[in-house]
């Protein structure tokens, strides 16, 4: 039976489309919050705890591994809880609204550890604090993010409008990433040292809360999706893996997620200890813009600007072919990083332009492809499990980040990395290898797996006809 909601036009048989710019923008704003927090943590967190707090790289790697793996295993529980929630404002929005303020508070305390005087004598206490706050922050992140990303798969049934909605969401996300490249560097410089990191945590934590609250207030949910039975969370995960196109897509995405995790961990280390800061940069560029902040800004700005291009290509050539083109580009740019050396800012800038273009595709296309496969799963099983699908998707990202980040920092620890001093040739060699050939290999594997993905727009249209939501 068709469900008519005035603010969301429908066509016969309950099909939902034509969301409108206001709804798309409002929904997308939540991703600004998640992207802002996520990049600040991914890029600044480990460098802050090794080079400012004084925790060893080995201990930091264990903290990252423990906290992120715990968080990854919570994802299916959150997907299950979100799928079976039934309230008058929906099954996703209560978690988005409820997590907003706690997430901002936890973010502040993550960058405000106690000052213990001599860090070498308090490594265990600092490790406990870091693991505890990191775990709490990402637990709250999961409470808000799994329902948020699941909601994106429910809002429209149209193949291309889904891509548009996800592109708007990821455009907001990329805007958050741009903010995360400039604001931390400026605030850290403005307030200075560890105090600067604490001020950054307070200000950006507040911003995170505001954007997530705005998104939760603006969006509306489809009432016909409430009240459906939900599987046991881990049984739901197993059920998603019976969807063969999704298995292939997930494996391709997992390899890409692993590829992208190590560069995110090491980018500041490479900027500081391999490329360095030339004298001309110090003379002509404001003190609050370090080279690493410029690199991130250039990368994510190119990602934002590339979104319309990828949208048009996906419309013309299909989603699989378009994502495949971006994987090829990512493989080549990653491999080229092996030739970075002292002073190669220009060379690295060219790499970052091309790599950023590839990243824009990576943000928009794969989640849109997952949304298509959820309709296919509904045809096969009679149920909708957006929470289960995006919980597993998030698990892959977090597990990849945890394991590869742990490995990268463990390698640095074992080859002799010492914070705040010029590094040996051995340390630099391993930094470059992990930053270049390692991700290039996994991007290549991602592209090979993607060749096996064969779900098209025609398949989606056929699924939606069987569901009664086709035009």
Distance between CA 275 and CA 406 in Å, rounded? 23
Domain boundaries, the chain: 19-467
Please write the tens of the pLDDT for every residue from 224-250.
666 555 556 666 677 787 888 889 999
Q: Evaluate whether 253 touches 366 at the Cβ level (below 8 Å).
A: yes
pLDDT in tens, 274-302: 999 988 898 888 888 889 889 988 998 89
Phi-psi region of 89 (alpha: psi -120 to 50; beta: other; left: phi over 0): alpha
- Residue 9, pLDDT score: 39
Tens of pLDDT, residue by residue over 161-183, are 777 887 788 789 888 888 888 89
Handedness of CA 10, 11, 15, 21 (dihedral sign): negative
When pLDDT is cut at 50, 70 and 90, the band that residue 18 belongs to is low
pLDDT band at 17 (very low <50, low <70, confident <90, very high): low
- SS3 state of residue 152: helix
Report yes or no: 55 and 123 within 8 Å, Cβ to Cβ: yes
At residue 1 the predicted structure's pLDDT band, cuts being 50, 70 and 90, is very low
Q: Which of 12-21, 300-309, 335-344 has the weakest average pLDDT?
A: 12-21
Q: Which CATH class is domain 19-467?
A: mainly alpha
Burial of 346 (0-12, 13-18, 19+ CB in 10 A): exposed
Q: Which residues pair with 8 in a beta bridge?
A: 5
Instruction: Note the pLDDT tens digit of each residue in 426-457.
Output: 999 999 999 999 999 999 999 999 999 988 88
Residue with tokens 């907003």: 100
Res 223 pLDDT > 60: yes
Asked if pLDDT for residue 76 goes beyond 90, the answer is: no
Task: Give the C-alpha distances (Å, rounded to integers) separating 319 from 171, 354, 436.
Answer: 18, 20, 26
Residue carrying structure tokens 């507040």: 206
Instruction: Give the three-class secondary structure for 5.
Output: strand
Could you read off the pLDDT of 28-75 as tens digits, one per residue?
Answer: 999 999 999 988 888 888 889 988 898 888 888 888 888 878 877 787
Report how far residue 256's alpha carbon sits from residue 12's, in angstroms, rounded to the nearest whole number: 39
Q: What pLDDT, on a 0 to 100 scale, did the predictor assign at position 444? A: 96
CB 251 within 8 A of CB 366: no
Place of tokens 């991700």: 439
């Amino acid at each position: 039976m068709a469900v008519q909601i005035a603010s969301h036009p429908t066509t016969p048989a309950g099909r939902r489309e034509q969301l409108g710019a206001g709804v798309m923008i409002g929904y997308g704003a939540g991703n600004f919050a998640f992207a802002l927090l996520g990049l600040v943590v991914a890029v600044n967190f480990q460098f802050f705890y090794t080079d400012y707090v004084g925790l060893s790289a080995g201990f930091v790697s264990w903290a990252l591994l423990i906290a992120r793996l715990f968080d990854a295993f919570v994802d299916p529980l959150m997907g299950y809880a979100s799928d079976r929630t039934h309230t008058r404002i929906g099954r996703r929005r209560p978690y988005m609204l409820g997590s907003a303020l706690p997430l901002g508070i936890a973010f502040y305390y993550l960058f405000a550890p106690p000052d213990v005087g001599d860090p070498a004598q308090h490594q265990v206490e600092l490790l406990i604090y870091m693991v505890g706050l990191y775990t709490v922050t990402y637990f709250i992140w999961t409470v808000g993010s799994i329902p948020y990303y699941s909601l994106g798969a429910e809002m429209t049934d149209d193949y291309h409008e889904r891509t548009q909605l996800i592109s708007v969401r990821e455009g907001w996300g990329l805007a958050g990433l741009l903010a995360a490249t400039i604001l931390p560097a400026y605030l850290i410089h403005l307030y200075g040292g560890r105090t600067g990191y604490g001020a950054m945590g307070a200000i950006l934590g507040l911003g995170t809360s505001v954007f997530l609250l705005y998104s939760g207030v603006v969006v509306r949910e489809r009432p016909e999706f409430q009240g459906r039975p939900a599987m046991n969370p881990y049984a739901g995960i197993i059920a998603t893996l019976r969807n063969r196109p999704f298995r292939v897509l997930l494996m391709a995405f997992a390899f890409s997620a692993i590829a992208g995790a190590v560069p995110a961990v090491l980018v500041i280390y490479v900027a500081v200890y391999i490329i360095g800061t030339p004298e001309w940069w110090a003379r002509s560029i404001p003190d609050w813009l370090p080279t690493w902040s410029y690199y991130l800004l250039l990368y994510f700005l190119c990602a934002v600007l590339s979104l319309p291009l990828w949208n048009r290509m996906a419309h013309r050539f299909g989603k699989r072919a378009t994502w495949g083109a971006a994987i090829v580009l990512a493989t080549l740019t990653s491999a080229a990083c092996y030739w970075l050396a002292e002073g190669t800012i220009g060379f690295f800038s060219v790499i970052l332009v091309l790599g950023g273009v590839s990243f824009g595709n990576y943000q928009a296309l794969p989640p849109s492809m997952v949304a298509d496969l959820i309709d296919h799963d509904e045809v096969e099983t009679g149920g909708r499990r957006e929470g289960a699908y995006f919980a597993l998707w998030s698990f892959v990202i977090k597990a990849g980040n945890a394991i590869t980040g742990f490995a990268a920092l463990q390698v640095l620890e074992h080859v002799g990395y010492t914070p705040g001093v010029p590094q040996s040739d051995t340390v630099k060699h391993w930094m470059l290898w992990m930053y270049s050939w390692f991700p290039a290999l996994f991007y290549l594997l991602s592209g090979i797996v993607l060749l096996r993905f064969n779900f098209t727009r025609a398949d989606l249209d056929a699924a939606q006809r069987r569901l009664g939501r086709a035009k």
